[in-house]
Amino acid sequence: MSHPAFSKRVCEDKRDFDEMKTAAAEFYRVSRVPQDIERALHQLFLHRPADQHGYLSMSSAAVSSHLVPESQERTEHVMAAVLWINEPLNSMLKDRDPCDQLKIDHILSTFFKERCLEEKEVRDRERPEVIPSSSPPQTKEKKSINKGKKSTVEKPLPAAEPQQPVLRGSLAVGSVSLAVAKTGAQIQGVHLYEYVAALRNQEPPFHIPVSLVTLLSCGKTSPGKLNLLEEVILIPKVGQQVKQIITMALEVQKEMMRIMETLTNGGASEAFVCDSGALAVSHERAEQPLDLIAEACTNLGLPLGTQIHLALNCAAHELLDPSKGKYEVATGVLKSPDELVDLYQTLISKYPAVVALIDPFRKEDRDQWEKLSSMIGNSCSLLSDVSYKSQGPPLPGARGHILKHINETTVSDLIHMTSEQQGSVLMGTTCSEPCSEDSLSDIAVGLGLHYVKLGGLSGAERMTKYNRLISIEEELAQQGILVFKEKHPPPLFPDSPHKHSGTAEAARSGLEEHSSHLIQTDL
């Protein structure tokens, strides 16, 4: 090779390398990898545990939790989990067959129940003794009395179910169960999704769960006054590959950003990427984010109700003001449970592309679940989070369920829940945890679920899972054992689409295309 040609080649290689470094630096910056590493090392130095590798592993455990990632509470839970794993779980599982998932998960669950009983006994001993009063207190009903108007009695808010405290160390149970499943799969020489499917006695062919992508977040932690919409979730047209879904969602997100920049005259838009990996936008009313998505989809030739439908994660249990007995749907805007029913009905009537509401009320507001279902059940499904076992009977009107692999949930628990709770969506975490594990994707495929929600399209902890879904899909297609659903399965679409008027024509045609006969954190 001549000197000029060699020099040109060196320059091209250097330019390619520089471009790759720049792209990598931008990827790490957006994904907040340096901050995650710095945080993990800081916590490691601060606590200086005896088992440094175990501490780091649990800090980035594939099993999610309800805890704030950087909180002292989470650190204490992680430390407790490391102690559980080192001893006594290490001794209890020694020489056990890692391929006997059911037996090991039974040991883990039994251990956890015993720890819960011990913790309860400690709390009971520490609880001060209550001396009963000689005469029961007199209670009066509150009445609003206005001159010339009929008095009304305000219905008391149903008491909340007692919340079971999350036991410190519970992360160890779910993490060890998953580690055992991965070990069993490796011993048998199969992928994790094949191993989980075999535990369910499921044989090929397989299907890939429809990826539900979080587009916007307008919850309590987002800018603006609106609290009600924790997540606005894209439901793609059935039959698309994961790559196609991701590309479409990215185009919608890019167009929304363009619209917001236009509205702010080219200035800084009031939006940022939140912990769920989606855009957190500043809005005051529930209609505004839906209008934004509708405009973006229309500009892209993807009108809502045909190519795209939406689900709303309301997370209403986080919005209740117990002192007032109302939901704070926006800053300073309070709604009673019945008023919230009316709000949802109006919203669904105006936006028929919204086909699912997740946790629209607390579980205790059973009357409102049933009332709302009777009003919009033909056009919109209600889904309930069953990650934490409720002490009450099944919710009336709930058509589907949300599952999460959190804390003490074992692989066997997930298999049992999906068999018991027909019509489930597996959801990943909504927190930005330093976790790039991709096992949730394998679990969703192995469980035979029809839907999986991995969050937004930002952050390595989520994109790793999306990439794993793509890999599984390509592998199954190469082997000729991949099948696609021709119609949207339950629980996200109702059995009998309700006929809306006016603006609902496009949505109605889309529902007819997908059919209404239907077949669920993020780690």
Is the pLDDT reported for residue 149 higher than 50?
A: no
How far is 497 from 379, CA to CA, in rounded Å?
5
User: What number of residues does the chain have?
Assistant: 523
- Residue (of 12, 20, 457, 403) closest to 1 by Cα position: 12
Evaluate whether 116 touches 169 at the Cβ level (below 8 Å). Answer: no
Give bridge partners of residue 424 from the DSSP assignment. Answer: 401
Q: What is the pLDDT of residue 425?
A: 80
- Region at 459 (left for phi over 0; alpha for psi -120 to 50; beta for the rest): left
Res. 387: pLDDT tops 80 = no
Percent share of the chain, pLDDT over 90: 48
**Res. 435 pLDDT band, cuts 50 70 90:** low
Among the residue ranges 23-27, 148-152, 214-218, 336-340, the one predicted with the least confidence is 148-152
88 token code pair: 């006594």
At 214 the three-state DSSP class reads: strand
- The helix/strand/coil state of 134 is coil
User: What is the rounded distance in angstroms from the CA atom of residue 434 to the CA atom of residue 463?
Assistant: 13
Distance CA 230, CA 159 (A): 24
The band of 195, judged by pLDDT with boundaries at 50, 70 and 90, is very high
3-state secondary structure (DSSP) of residue 249: helix
Cα 376 from chain centre: 23
For residue 220, the model assigns a pLDDT of: 86
Rounded CA-CA distance 274/156 in Å is 36
Q: Are 428 and 523 in contact (CB under 8 A)?
A: yes
Helix (H/G/I), strand (E/B), else coil: 14: helix
- Written as six digits, the tokens of 244 are 């196609």
Whole-number pLDDT of residue 403: 86
Q: Is the pLDDT of residue 142 over 80?
A: no
The per-residue DSSP string of 373-427 comes to HHHHTTT-EEEEE-SS--SSPPPTTEEEEEE--BTT--HHHHHHHHHHSSSEEEE
Is the pLDDT confidence value at 143 over 70? Answer: no
Greatest extent of the chain over all pairs of C-alpha atoms, in Å: 105
pTM (global) more than 0.85:
no
Question: How many whole angstroms from its chain centre is CA 432?
Answer: 12
Local confidence band at 523 (pLDDT 50, 70, 90 cut-offs)? very low
pLDDT in tens, 7-33: 666 576 667 777 776 766 665 555 555
DSSP letter string over 116-142?
HHHHHHHHHHHSPPPPPPSSPPP----
Residue 428's pLDDT band (boundaries 50, 70, 90)?
low
What is the tens place of the pLDDT at every residue in 35-72? Answer: 555 555 655 555 566 555 555 544 444 555 545 455 67
Q: Is the dihedral of CA 355, 359, 361, 365 positive or negative?
A: positive
Per-residue tokens: 448: 């035979």
Higher pLDDT, 435 or 493: 493
Closest listed residue to residue 250, CA positions, set 307, 304, 300, 312:
300
